[in-house]
């Protein structure tokens, strides 16, 4: 007899989110905790990650009143839980890949430290090549990508798309013919967090609110190109020191400096490997969509920027899980 609910973790470098899903894959409960593979890496043991995931699980039971007997025994998880600093390292799939390959590659793992139950882990994706400067990989974003494929086909039929997923590491996937055919990976959110928590820029990057000043983002990009990263980011400190600009303007400038290398990297791929790609679609909240659409203004290859909004209620990761499990069952 099928259980009423299943549990899914989307666990990244810095944060993990739990979802309680019903049999129609509707989100009945979700919560996030600041724990991820980075914590395991620092501690040299994954116990800290497991304990954080268990706290999310226990909090879910308490908040919903759901009995464990109503939940499927196996827990599904994707993201950095499949990395060396996660629950169990499992190999990436190599692009190009399809939903069917993911469905065939779900890895069953018995966790005995904390949960004492089975986990079903979704593998990540990678490119291959002898030149390490062009090798890219992702863990976690692949399931979101799978969840977007139907929507992308409906909105942009037949188009070649650079699908941008901002996060601790921003990953951009080349989507062509309903397949992932390329990856571009950049360190972004983790860099932001490091500068926010461990440098003199903390007051600037901690500014409250989601107000973004596009002109200050562009100013940050220009100074990055003119002076390089070290000088350009210091200017952000000087702005606060000498009371130049509002808190939102300073933070927007910093966003431009920290993310300003992304358009150039995307140009390299569009020119050499992603030929014919003139559409980017950002999977994000409104703030990150505005940031990336600003960064891509006047881009030599990307002429249109679309948006797939996400929220606590709308997760493309859960859509991707639904697609994988449906494929396993032959639905």
> In tens digits, what is the pLDDT along the chain, a chain of 331 residues?
578 999 999 998 889 999 999 999 999 999 999 999 999 999 999 999 999 999 999 999 999 999 999 999 999 999 999 999 999 999 999 999 989 999 999 999 999 999 999 999 999 999 988 889 889 999 999 999 999 999 999 999 999 999 999 988 999 999 999 999 999 999 999 899 999 999 999 999 998 888 999 999 999 999 999 999 999 999 999 999 999 999 999 999 999 999 999 999 999 999 999 999 999 999 999 999 999 999 999 999 999 999 999 877 778 999 999 999 999 877 5
Whether residue 294 sits in one domain with residue 180 = yes
In a domain, 329, yes or no: no
pLDDT of the residue at 223: 98
One domain for residues 108 and 144: no
Are residues 100 and 144 located together in one domain of the fold?
A: no
Q: In this structure, are 86 and 172 located in the same domain?
A: no
Structure tokens at 164: 């941008």
Tokens of 263: 């358009």
- Final residue belonging to a domain, choices 90, 123, 156: 123
Q: Find the CATH number of the domain harbouring 36.
A: 3.30.420.300
CATH number of the domain to which 274 belongs? 3.30.420.310
Asked whether residue 208 is domain-assigned, the answer is: yes
What's the number of domains the chain is made of?
2
Judge whether 327 lies within some domain.
no
pLDDT for position 3: 87
Same domain, 86 and 154: no
Cα 51 vs. chain centroid, distance in angstroms?
Answer: 22
So what's the pLDDT on residue 306? 98
Domain boundary among 86, 102, 123: 123
- For residue 32, the cross-strand partners are 17
Whether residue 135 sits in one domain with residue 72? no
Do 7 and 17 contact (CB within 8 A), yes or no?
Answer: no
Do 87 and 135 sit in the same domain of this protein? no
Q: Are residues 112 and 156 in the same domain?
A: no
Are 327 and 100 in contact by the 8 Å Cβ rule? The answer is: yes
Tokens of 113: 């430290």
With contact defined as beta carbons under 8 Å apart, do 149 and 106 qualify?
no
Task: Choose one of 123, 139, 163: the last residue of a domain.
Answer: 123
> 144 in a domain, yes or no?
yes
- Residue 312: per-residue pLDDT: 72
List the domain range (segments joined by +) for residue 34.
Answer: 5-123
Strand order in the sheet with 137-138: 93-94, 125-126, 137-138
**pLDDT for 208:** 84
Rounded to whole angstroms, the Cα distance separating 24 from 331 reads 13
Report yes or no on 229 lying in a domain. yes
> What's the confidence (pLDDT) of residue 1?
53
pTM of the model: 0.91
Tell me what pLDDT residue 225 has: 98
């Amino acid at each position: 007899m099928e259980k009423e609910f299943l549990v899914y973790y989307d666990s990244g470098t810095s944060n993990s989110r739990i979802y309680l899903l019903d049999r129609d894959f509707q989100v009945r409960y979700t919560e996030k905790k600041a724990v991820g593979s980075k914590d395991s890496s620092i501690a040299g043991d994954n116990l800290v990650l497991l304990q954080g995931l268990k706290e999310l699980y226990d909090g879910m039971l308490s908040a919903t009143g759901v009995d464990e007997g109503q939940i499927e025994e196996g827990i599904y998880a994707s993201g950095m839980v499949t990395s060396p600093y996660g629950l169990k390292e499992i190999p990436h799939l190599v692009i190009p890949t399809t939903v069917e390959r993911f469905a065939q590659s779900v890895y069953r793992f018995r966790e005995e430290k904390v949960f004492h139950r089975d986990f079903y882990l979704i593998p990540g994706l990678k490119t291959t090549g002898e030149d390490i400067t062009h090798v890219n990989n992702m863990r976690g974003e692949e399931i979101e990508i799978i969840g977007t494929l139907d929507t992308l086909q409906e909105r942009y039929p037949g188009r070649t798309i650079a699908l941008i997923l901002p996060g601790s590491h921003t990953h951009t996937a080349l989507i062509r013919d309903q397949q992932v055919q390329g990856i571009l990976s950049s360190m972004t959110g983790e860099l932001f967090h490091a500068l926010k928590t461990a440098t003199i820029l903390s007051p600037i990057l901690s500014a409250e609110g989601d107000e973004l000043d596009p002109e200050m983002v562009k100013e940050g990009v220009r100074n990055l190109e003119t002076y390089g990263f070290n000088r350009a980011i210091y200017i952000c400190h000087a702005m606060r020191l000498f009371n130049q600009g509002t808190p939102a303007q300073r933070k927007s400038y910093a966003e431009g400096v920290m993310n300003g290398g992304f358009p150039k990297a995307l140009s390299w791929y569009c020119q050499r490997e992603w030929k014919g790609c003139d559409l980017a679609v950002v999977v994000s909240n409104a703030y990150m969509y505005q940031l990336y659409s600003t960064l891509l203004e006047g881009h030599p290859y990307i002429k249109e920027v679309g948006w797939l909004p996400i929220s606590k209620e709308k997760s493309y990761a859960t859509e991707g899980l639904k697609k994988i499990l449906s494929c396993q069952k032959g639905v």
